[in-house]
Structure 1
Amino acid sequence: MKKIFLLALFLVGLSWALFNFKGLANQGTFDAIVLDFREDLAAGQVERQLDQLGDRYGVKARLNSEFSREDNFYIVEGDRQLLKTLKKSELSKYTEYIEPDYQYKALTIPNDPLYGQQWNFRSINLEKAWENTKGNGITVAAIDTGVSKVPDLKDTQFVKGYDFVNDRELADDDNGHGTHVAGTIAQTTNNNYGVAGIAYEAKIMPLKVLSAGGGGNIGDIAEAIKFAANNGADVINMSLGGAGESQAMKEAIAYAHEKGVVVVAAAGNENRNSASYPARYTHVIGVAAIDSTGQKAPYSNFGAGVDISAPGGDTSKGESGGILQNTIAIDPDTRRPTSVFKAFQGTSMAAPHVAGVAALVKASGVENPDEVAEILKQSARVIKDDPLNHFGAGQLDAANAVQLAMHGKIDFRDFFRWLRDNGYLNPGFWIDGGVYTLVPKLLMMVGSYLLAWLLKTYFPFGWTWSMASGLIFGSSGLFVLRGFYIFDLPQWPMRVMGSSLPELGTAIQGSSALNPIFASVLIPGILIVLLLGHPQWKNFAIGTTLGVASCLAISAVLVPGPMLLWLGSGLGARAFLLVNAFLCFGLARLALKGEEKFA
């Protein structure tokens, strides 16, 4: 008994601490307060409360919008002090809740006018990744047809590159392919023009190894790889490929890998059951292409050599299905390049998505290229049914990759956000208004033990697991589970397991209202009748009955505006809960008394 008493004191102390904990989310800013009046109030009652609000506090409430009248949803200008005062005032009896009208803002969404057409970036969950990094300090080498500084690359940072086709330092593009690829990696972003890029604070190193016709040789490519490694590149993208294994290229890739460079290459566009070289080499991340629906792009190679998949597009049904970037087109009359926004398709377009996210991962503090590759694979969205290896480790997910890269470096301020974004916890359940749910839950559980202790004084019984589990099931349930969820899985099993007996009637629907059939003496009475003669389960039935008594009593007294189906949330609902709480307590007392006589 002493242990139970100490446990009760501990839980009461914890309840007090949590109740007074303001929560991380309450650090938000607001200059207005939400007043949600109970819907069962008559219009005259609401108006009287609004008048008194003005008379007492000198503020005037207004409907939030033209649609708010039916819900009695009002807004009043005010600060934290007024919020605290209103919550303690008579007004709280007439409202379902009084809370801050927090100011939210959009996630990091670029202002580039054509960004809405870049379905590929939303497909890789890029906006959440941008909350942590944009690739600052990382250099990505684009080994391709060269890169021209089209208008939407104007503010992108460039480092010295080289043209291995014409043996000169200036590595301009005369095809359009390389500029398009560089745009996906680091197109100038938030410049109110054109489109966006993935790692738009990274630098581009233009290395031309392919001619205007798109062809090139292994010698130039191998030299370009070594040039990139020797001149500070962190990531290499090669949206190129062909048949035939090369010792020279294999050695160049190994050299770059030893220098800490992440090497990414396109898998090829022949719809063949093996990736092209250089994607198939060791230390190269081979990238297959998916379309806007997440399916394998019809042209993409698959099978051996494919490590991961990323958006490559499919323009067979229109340009909207392709990958849109700013590049060049060669005017057929003047033979001069002009700037265009063009949608391309291919594994050439998929590879720079992976290279861009690799830059984000490196900017998050991961240096080793093998670790970067492993992070990209582990964070990918797994496709379970993939017998032919269309997708490799899965589909690229930028946010997951950056979060995984930052794992172990998350400070307390970011801890709950990390849990939320990875699908393990819903911190809002505990931290915002959830505290007001948590405290009654703890009190319900403590109350059930106190009621049992009170009855044990007159009707001695042994503390058993069946009694304890009944007390918890009837009073609070495994309520901690309600704060946990896993993305893409239904939440109702957690709600059911996290519910007490009175809450089970509406747990699947996720409603906060109680079903009077479950929130009454009826089901505990049935359990007593069915289980009282059982040597072990009788304690579970008695414990459940005491737990329900505690749950209903706390709900009637402490929970603001308890809602009952068919009965509303007024005094009638409170009276119903209190009466049934007393009935449950009396039923448990009779059951224990009967057991004592029987003994």
Structure 2
Amino acid sequence: MRRLLLLVLFLVGLWAALSNFKGLANKGEYSSIVLDFRDNLPTTVISEQLQAIAQKYNKTATLNSIFSVSDNIYTLEGDEQLLKALRHSPLKKFVEHIEPNYIYRAFEVPNDPDYGKQWNLRSINIERAWEDTKGAGVTVAVIDTGVSRVPDLQQTEFVEGYDFVNDKVNATDDNGHGTHVAGTIAQSTNNNYGVAGIAYKAKIMPLKVLSAGGSGTILDIAEAIRFAADRGADVINMSLGGGGESLVMKEAIDYAHQKGVVIVAAAGNSNRNAAEYPARYPHVIGVAATDLAGKKAPYSNYGAAVDIAAPGGSNEGKILQETIDPRTNQPVFMGFQGTSMAAPHVAGVAALIKASGISNPDEVLSVLQKSARTVSEDPFNHFGAGHLDSTAAVKLALKGKITWKDFFRWLRDNGYLNPRFWIDGGVVALLPKILMVIGSYLLYWFLRNYLGWSWSLNSGLILGSSGLFFLRGVYILDLPQWPFRLASSSIPELGNTIVGSPMLNPLFASVLIPFLLIALLLGHPKWKWFAIGTTLGVASCLAVSAVMSPAVLWLGTGAIARIFLIVNALLCFGLAYLASQGEKRLA
């Protein structure tokens, strides 16, 4: 009966949590609707449907641009009410998609024009990468507010782009954001003027999809992606984003990926536990931002869909490039910060990788991730694979395609085959966790004459010693991360798992919770085994932590912390021993 009651309470709690959970993605804003007619429809049928819309809703649908003709994609002004009406009308038989034309915005934080040091290029180790390649022969499409040929872009080669906002060929910048982004990728370098760019021998394809105010629709962005893919772009950078998933954009991204284009996008500036669109889509490299010290920038999104981290700047140090002042349209050197600034670092290094002989976009991503400088403690996935390293990426790319030998060398040098990595604390500290589990079972073995085996004892040993630690690196879009962090933590780690600190909380990493469990459950015929098993598991966890990585809040990481952990481990073992003695006498 008690089990049934507990199950009912669990299900009620789960239902309440899920019903109140709003998701991590913004719904997005829009003022127009996308009508993506089937490609095989005759023009007469499309015309009839457009006339029907005009008569019934008093709305006129128009082609988004001259590039929409072959794809039969139209747009019309409308809100959520009209969207619902169209989706339930006979029109749905003639279209592939009816969806919001979401508005995405440039990721930008207020800038400081007086900052004048390019610490960001040194932090990605660019100087040695330039010894091998400077990006010659690669074209990078900058899908943004346009790009203006400021003086420090005069020696950078441009290819023809397009202005999708105003439907014209000349995609000049009227905001400053896109020119700044293009400067990070390919600012003219070694010209005795201004600042440097990462892949400064690469070509820039300017594609304007954001207005002077820094916003634009997903339909313009999707068409720009296809434009870039059809006209020879090797890399696409999108320092923009917003809420709302679009099948039209997803199809454009898939199309470009199939044509071999590497697609990079900013993760977003909301300090939220998930990247925004388009970084969330498959085949897009989501980039988080770091500050001058290499830490997560205060604004940067993190968690699900973050693949790698790169310099984005903060108030202590911004990303300097030459751009235009939108008020005067004159060139100016300005410091910006944001994931918008982090993404072009990755796009620039992707251009270097492509120039080094790697053409497949999946292999480019593999090179970026395998060459990244790993971060040992990253419970919230602030950095994805780690910090961008251009020299390591080019070095790995010059070896040709990624082979099994390269893969195992990477495993050995950077992670899973390197025991020191685990001792120092890896993404999931496998070796200590296994030792904690083994240790708890060894303690149980010493007391086997007093204890009987049961599932409750077994679960207690795991909960006390390691938790379901293999869940720690799981990141799923639109699901909260805290249930995975809790499930992947042992009892001593519960005090620090939510805040993501490596320091154990002394209230949890002590004999206190095992003592309370023993006191409450010892008289229960089945749950007593859970309490005793948990106590032994905690003893093992504290003992292994004391030997391998003593780190306790308020006590530091030295001898005091080690003594505290050892004393509490012995107390837990003694408590379990006394409880088991009592069980033997009762038997």
- TM-score by length of structure 2 reads 0.49
- TM-score by length of structure 1 reads 0.48
- Rg bigger for which structure? 1
